[in-house]
Amino acid sequence: MLAAERARRRTQRRATSLGDKRICVIENEFGEINIDEKLVSENMASKEDLIQMDNGCACCSIRGDLVRTLGGLVEKRTQFDAVMLETTGLADPAPIIATLKSNQWIDDNFVIDSVLCLASAKHVQSHLDEVKPEGAVNEAVQQIAFCDKVLLNKVDLVNDEELAAITARVKTINHFAEIITCERSIVDLSKIVGVSSFDVERCTELDPVLFGVEGAEGQKKVHDLSMVSSCGIAVEGFLDVPKFNMFMAELLQARAADLYRTKGVLSFAGQGAQKFVFQGVHEQIDFGPAKTEWQKDEPRWSKIVFIGRNLDRKYLQEKVESCLVPGATE
């Protein structure tokens, strides 16, 4: 889907609207002839801010190049405030995220701030409806499913009714992603850089109605052939650590390919005020203590977000509830 948005005006404006932020752009171009590098470099304050990776997709053939490129930036970390990786429009975000999180040295030196998806309001519906050969993925669906923010561009080319339908469609795939509308890809940088939207603890800031309410907007059935949707599960109380670990292990063993993103904030029995968080991409799960603890009078709600194919809300709700420890108070 990003490929449909790699228009010249977008590329030029992206490079000139960064304000006071110093952004290092890593651009991944798929193809033998690189057009975007020239368009971007002509508008960068310094051409040293642009790093090009050509002739391959960051999610597959050049993941090693991505790791080496990031490694080379560590010594220059004082020269920029953030790194922006612009993938080819053919990219699947999952293996890119997995590459970054599985490399301990990269994970120690970089933090994933947000995953952005730039979509054309004029064309996104046709991309989502595109039928792929058996076994192939719909890149548009996956990019929306994995992202934290959707930049819905070219809204000036659709009417209010069309925009409402597009927004509902996107929310059906990923109810938890913020949608930012824009024209000519002009966006306030403070909305997309330094926002920590990939941080799992931010999911607790979501509207509570998204968790456990049948008929919520994000659960509507639509004509999405991919059957990708999102649901939030919330339970009050204390989870049993072994039971929850077993539930997640069994779920991932059976459904890892269908689970695009999972993340949650958890309250475990026997752990005092310690709050736990986890973040997953397919079968890869990062788990650990949260940055903050449960406050004395804070209700102990465990909240888990699932984004993937053919999700069964009732099953997931029941399985998470079965992990609760009856009568536990801490």
Confidence of residue 230 (pLDDT cuts 50, 70, 90): confident
Cβ density class 204-226: b for 16+ within 10 Å, e for less: bebeeebbbeeebebbeeeeeeb
Question: What b/e sequence results for 238-254 when a residue is b if at least 16 CB atoms lie within 10 Å of its CB, and e otherwise?
Answer: bbbbebbeebbeebbee
148 pLDDT more than 70:
yes
**If you average pLDDT over residues 138-161, what whole number do you get?**
90
Q: CA-CA distances (angstroms) from residue 208 to 22, 126, 165, 232, 302?
A: 36, 32, 23, 9, 12
Residue with the bigger pLDDT between 68 and 203: it is: 68
Strands of 116-120's sheet, edge to edge? 116-120, 149-153, 178-181
Q: Which residues contact 42 (CB under 8 A, 6 or more apart)?
A: 12
Percent of residues, the chain, with pLDDT higher than 90: 26
Q: Are 57 and 91 in contact (CB under 8 A)?
A: yes
Domains of the chain in start order, with CATH, are: 2-198 (3.40.50.300), 202-321 (3.30.1220.10)
Mean pLDDT of the chain: 76
User: Residue 244 has which token pair?
Assistant: 């929850």
Structure tokens at 255: 């459904």
Secondary structure (3-state) at 289: strand
More confident site: 140 or 35: 140
Q: Is the pLDDT of residue 194 over 70?
A: yes
SS3 of residue 272 by DSSP = coil
pLDDT of 185 higher than 60 = yes
pLDDT per residue as tens digits for the range 18-75 = 557 788 888 765 433 333 443 333 334 444 454 544 444 444 444 677 888 888 888 8
pTM above 0.75, yes or no: no
Give the model's pLDDT for residue 167. Answer: 95
Sheet arrangement for strand 82-86: 50-54, 23-29, 82-86
